Amino acid sequence: MHLIDNWKQALSMTSVQAGGVIAALGIAEQLMPQLQAVLPPVAYGVLGLLVMIARVILQPKLSK
């Protein structure tokens, strides 16, 4: 397995941040089932698409 050159900046990447939000929402839903009524299942699909889009967009903050 080879890591990307700027792996130390992973927490600054928008795609990693969005993925973390998705993971946190999934865990929160498991711990508090009442959240399932608040967040529809389609929201995870939308958030997943946002991760994919964020992954391909140039992020100037990483090139500093």
Residue 18 · residue 56 · CB < 8 Å? no
Convert the pLDDT of each residue in 31-63 to its tens digit. Answer: 988 888 888 888 888 888 988 888 888 777 776
Cα distance between residue 21 and residue 15, in whole Å: 10
pTM as predicted: 0.71
pLDDT value for 44: 83
Higher pLDDT, 62 or 11: 11
Q: So what's the pLDDT on residue 20?
A: 92
Smallest Cα–Cα separation from 17: which of 41, 45, 63, 53?
53
22, 24, 36 from 17: Cα distances, Å:
9, 11, 22
Residue 28 has pLDDT above 80, yes or no: yes
